[in-house]
Amino acid sequence: MRRRRFNQTLAKGIGGATLISAMPLSCAMGSQQKNKLGIALVGLGSYSTYQLAPALQQSEYCYLAGVVTGTPAKENIWAKKYNIPQKNIYNYQNFDTIANNEDIDVVYVVLPNSMHAEFSIRAARAGKHVICEKPMALNVAECDEIIQACKEAGVKLGMGYRLHSEPYTQQIKTFVQENTFGNPLFVNAEAAYISRGNPDQWRLDIKRSGGGALMNMGVYSIQSAIYGCGMNPVSVSAQEFSTRPEYFKETDETITAQFEFPNGTVGQIMTSHNASANRLYVSCSRGWMELQPANSYGPLKGNTSKGPVSFPHESQQKLQMDDFSKHILKGAPNLAPGEMGKRDMIIVEAIYASIASGGKKQNLNLGSLGLV
């Protein structure tokens, strides 16, 4: 457990920030009257730059209204490229004054994992709806703090789980709901890539990442296993493997885990920063279904015992941000609420606990978090 992340608390981040306690002037409540919501991206790294900002150029119910960055050099570049007015550009210090900015309805937190809780909570307290990237936070306690802050502020909270808005994934969920191939008997979900980059990157730093492959790609395999059989697991046992300890000094390299589901369905997941895998396979009593790839930016590919499935490709990020905006604007369902992020973090903690105990089975009590 020496290198795990259970010790980091919110106290430092939150205590160190200037928080506003009064109800903000531009409470995001007013956003229901708009046709399109203004989104501010917090953290202008690769996901914001190459996926979210371009997707916001295509979205129908939201647009890129502002940015929050700790790198002054990015301010002008983004302002010019996306025509963002100076008043909608913030840094990490003056971020809380976003409360007074009526252009911004939603704050999208796209920072290293250790900063998700602090910035999600500051956004909620500024009266803004929140999208939080995966993994939701460093631990379950932080997830609870985010959920509580959003409840208290009366703002909506969504996870950056783009696949819930993605048509192949939605088709799998429908097949499961409609029992198209019979009862799921076995589900296998793999999400992995080979990391060879800068050894100083935050994903390899336990303080900023909270964990390795499991906190990064592992969240996809947990998610896939759950929607692949349409149930939350009741227990998990896990194993960790290390072949490049000189590179993965602090964070997990490869993890496998086995789930038991309530009706006897068995699940197997694999996640790694030292192998390539991208697949969901569900064996059912009257057939099978498969996505491969299952979790990349698309197009995904689907096959079943009745033949292939096919959908036109659209940006997953566009679909995801539009779905969350429709939730706010039109009361459409929140496809990936904060409770789902918390559910996954409970499973992540149980997997790490199983590994720390030499692979012992950990019981999961996810009853009230019945979101698939």
Given the rule CB under 6 A, which residues bind ligand NAD? Answer: 43-48, 70-71, 110-113, 133-134, 160, 162, 202, 208, 216
Residue 18 or 177: which CB sits closer to ligand NAD? Answer: 18
| Residue closer to ligand NAD, measured from CB, 217 or 257 | 217
Contact, 290 vs 282, CB < 8 A?
A: yes
3-class secondary structure, 160: coil
Inter-residue contact 201 to 222 (CB < 8 Å): no
Sign of CA dihedral 355, 358, 359, 360: negative
Shortest Cβ distance from residue 260 to ligand NAD (Å)? Answer: 28
Tell me which residue has its CB nearest to ligand NAD: 45
Minimum separation from the CB atom of position 117 to ligand NAD (A)? 11
Closest approach, Cβ 80 to ligand NAD, in A, equals 18
**What are the phi and psi torsion angles at 188 (to 5°)?**
-125, 130
Which residues have a Cβ under 8 Å from the Cβ of 223 and sit 6 or more positions away? 161, 163, 189, 344
CB–CB of 104/65 below 8 Å? Answer: yes
Q: 111 or 289, CB closer to ligand NAD?
A: 111
For residues 207 and 244, which CB has a smaller minimum distance to ligand NAD in the complex?
207
> Checking DSSP bridges between strand 89-90 and strand 62-68, what pairing results, if any?
parallel
Nearest CB to ligand NAD, comparing residues 44 and 124: 44
The C-alpha atoms of residue 283 and residue 289 are separated, in whole angstroms, by 7
Measured from the CB atom, the residue of 216 and 258 that comes closer to ligand NAD is: 216
CB of 30 to ligand NAD, least distance (A): 28
Whose Cβ is closer to ligand NAD: residue 110's or residue 213's? 110
Closer to ligand NAD by Cβ: residue 162 or 231: 162
Burial of 211 (0-12, 13-18, 19+ CB in 10 A): buried
Q: Which two tokens stand for residue 324?
A: 């969350």
Is the distance from CB of 354 to CB of 237 less than 8 angstroms? yes
Record the tokens describing residue 86, joined without a space: 């100076």
Residues 6 or more apart whose CB falls under 8 angstroms from that of 221 comprise: 189, 190, 191, 269, 270, 271, 295
For residue 142, the minimal CB distance to ligand NAD (Å) is: 13
| Token pair for 270 | 């694999």
Question: In whole angstroms, how close is the CB of 210 to ligand NAD at the nearest point?
Answer: 10
Q: How far is the CB of 342 from ligand NAD (least distance, A)?
A: 16
CB closer to ligand NAD out of 184 and 218: 218
14 C-beta neighbours (distance < 10 Å), count: 16
Q: How far apart are CA 362 and CA 348, in angstroms?
A: 11
Q: What is the phi/psi pair of residue 192, to 5°?
A: -160, 150
Residue labelled with tokens 């301010």: 75
Residue 148 beta carbon to ligand NAD: minimum distance, rounded to whole angstroms: 21
Closer to ligand NAD by CB, 91 or 363: give it: 91
Beta carbons of 328 and 129 less than 8 angstroms apart: yes
| DSSP assignment letter at 29 | G
Q: Are 213 and 204 in contact (CB under 8 A)?
A: no
